[in-house]
Copies of this chain bind each other. A is one copy, B any other.
Amino acid sequence: MSESASPVKFRPEEIPAELGGLRMTKQRKEVYCLLMDQRDHPTAQDVFIRAKERMPNISLATVYNCLEALVNHELVRQVNFDRAPSRYCPNLEEHVHFQDLETGAIHDVVFKKGININDFLELPEGVEVRELELTLKGIMPSSTKKN
């Protein structure tokens, strides 16, 4: 599980002009850095508010556009809990999400090493899984929270 803020600050000027086939504009760099920097699964609104600190003229539409572009180019993942506002996550490792019902914080959880989807699901022969989204909600013991 991880909620670690990165020790290095990501700076827009260090982001290459293109990333994963996506042209990185000023706004996209900003949004991307901010996600990399504060990996707390913000909503589009959260991103908007944070982005405005450094780019006061950025619009919410642009934030949505940037997030969509980043998601489409698989630089960022979109995370949905029920029908709550989507959240965004720059962790590209395969993982799932756990929401602490007490704090609302979202944590990344990984699969056991070597585990395969057919090891735990009764999928019919030949089914090809293209996307998997697993979300958990529950209670974290406070001891674990600190880490």
Contacts and interface: CB of A to CB of B under 8 A. Distances in A.
Interface in A84-117: 86, 96, 98, 101, 109-113, 115
Contact of A137 (B110, B119, B130, B135): B130
Interface residues of A, number: 41
Contacts of A130: 101, 137-139
A1 to B, nearest CB: 5
A121 interface: yes
A6 to B, nearest CB: 20
Contact of A129 (B111, B131, B138): B138
Interface of A: 1, 78, 80, 82-83, 86, 96, 98, 101, 109-113, 115, 119-141, 143-144, 147
